[in-house]
Amino acid sequence: MKNKKFITLGFASVAVATALLFSSNLFAKSSMKDAEASRLQSLAKFTKVISIVEQYNVDEVTIEELMDKALDGMLKNLDAHSNYLTQKDYKKLKVQTSGEFGGLGITVGIKDGALTVIAPIDGTPADKAGLKAGDIILKIDDKSTLSMTIDEAVSIMRGKVGEPIDLAIVRKGEGKPLDIHIVRGIITIESVLAKRIGDDILYVRVASFDQKVASDVAKEIKKMQASTKGIVLDLRNNPGGLLDQAVDLVDLFVDEGIVVSQKGRKKSDEKTYSASKSATITNVPMVVLINGGSASASEIVSGALQDHKRAVLLGENTFGKGSVQVVLPITDKEAIKLTIARYYLPSGRTIQAVGVKPDIKVLPGEVKTHENGFAIKEADLKKHLEKELVKVDGKKEKTKEEKEEKKDIITPEMINKDIQLKEAVDILKALVIIKG
């Protein structure tokens, strides 16, 4: 009887499970039907609106124009970086990514709904005219930037070399908008600049992440590796660039672990980039300089080095662009630029809209120095050892080689004009002493 009861219960359980599975399948099919019906209703609504506008709009408009406007509006409303590229826009994008071009030399983004300068590129017309990271562009040649997309703004700012352009900007700390007059120039970017500070500190400035950044930085480190006891990596006003170069740059300093990962809606959009021991070339102490103009790839580098406790970050909070965009052609001449994923740092934290916070916050400015005219030193005493002083401080005419070499040196006077760099050097000296 027990066995019969067990068998009866077993059959009952199977029956219940079968009923549940059948019910679940019916529910899934029902949901699919509802979703399909909803899609059809939405498409019917869209078609109806297009038809009404085409028929009754005050100005005659073609179906092609309406579709372009509809696609443009749809993508603009997804996020600040997605947009529809018409034939003209797509052609401009190809020119933009092909190399040298005429323009101002700034990277812009949408921050809190406003067209904002992420960073001026070193040595460009915008940099020379005095544009700064964080400047909000109100007008471009009397055209309001309200509701203007990044691509529309870039399109207006690009132009023939030698043509002037006027920007009205709002800057933090200024009581009224500023008018900036700029003459367009050829934009070529020297991405890596290396100099020495004293005998044992290497200063490396990375202006943007182009195709050779990691190899150029590696070359500079190897050139001065024997005497280098610490590195200052300057990523201020670096608007970003190629992801693989950011990963390869971190790999020069970190021998293992995740550098960055990207996660999207689909599994195929998820990727993880890791460091390898074979690519690492130095383990000396590091300080990384960042500010509000450090964006995208430079945020990945600084954030990864911070998470791996490989460097001290000094300066200001970064821009906060941690999303991945791809250009997807929809015809031979048109495309869409779509955000497909977000970047995540090794610790799992996001960059998007948050940025990377420095370990030590230091605002930009000059070092305040005061000479004490009343202090009496040994050299001021009547019977001080003059001959010994001559031996120590005796000045000689510099040779041609010494003058040439000075171009690659950051002097104490230059450091005092940049308080963030001064703090970085002081911290690095302390780290070098501790490491021995």
Which positions are annotated as active-site residues? 296, 307, 321
Contacts of 431 (CB under 8 A, 6+ apart): 230, 285, 287, 312
Using CA atoms, how far apart are residues 182 and 117, in angstroms rounded to an integer? 15
Using CA atoms, how far apart are residues 94 and 109, in angstroms rounded to an integer? 19
Question: String of b and e for 141-179 (b: at least 16 CB within 10 Å)?
Answer: eeeebeebbbbbbbbebbeeeeeebebbbebeeeeeeee
Which H/E stretch holds residue 313? strand 312-315
Using CA atoms, how far apart are residues 271 and 239, in angstroms rounded to an integer? 22
Using CA atoms, how far apart are residues 424 and 367, in angstroms rounded to an integer? 13
* Alpha carbon distances (Å) from 50 to 40, 56, 71, 77, 154: 15, 10, 12, 18, 30
**In this structure, are strands 286-290 and 230-234 parallel, antiparallel, or unpaired?**
parallel
Place of tokens 């950011």: 246
Which 3 state secondary structure label does DSSP give 46?
helix
E-strand ranges in 97-163 read 101-103, 106-111, 114-120, 136-140, 143-144
Which H/E stretch holds residue 193? strand 192-197
